[in-house]
Structure 1
């Protein structure tokens, strides 16, 4: 989930507009697609979670994402997940 007040949103990364279940996986529809963290490919939400557990709040990671078929990179300082 991309929080509207989170670090990725401040870099203009666009979150999904919809979420659905396909098989037993959550699938997000629309928005940018995160494809790598620090150069390591992301193929699932579980893999993203695993890669992020190697980091702490305050660490900076390089996020690679696709928007309209174009690859972009942003450096993002990790923040605590907001309480919702």
Structure 2
């Protein structure tokens, strides 16, 4: 499990699969919430945009009956395209 704690760039590729393998858990529920809003000072600095610029905020959660497995927050600048591929 120490490898899961490595924060070096590129080391989190496939991290979810490694966490599931190490814990023996299975994702049974998933939810993404997104909303448009304006960037605060911290977000604006990270995105190289002006404070108050339009951004898209995202929260991503994967869980099972035991609780949360993966949680992610992200902010994306305007003109950034998000796409999801899925089978209907």
TM-score, with structure 1 as normaliser: 0.26
More helix by share: 2
Larger radius of gyration: 2
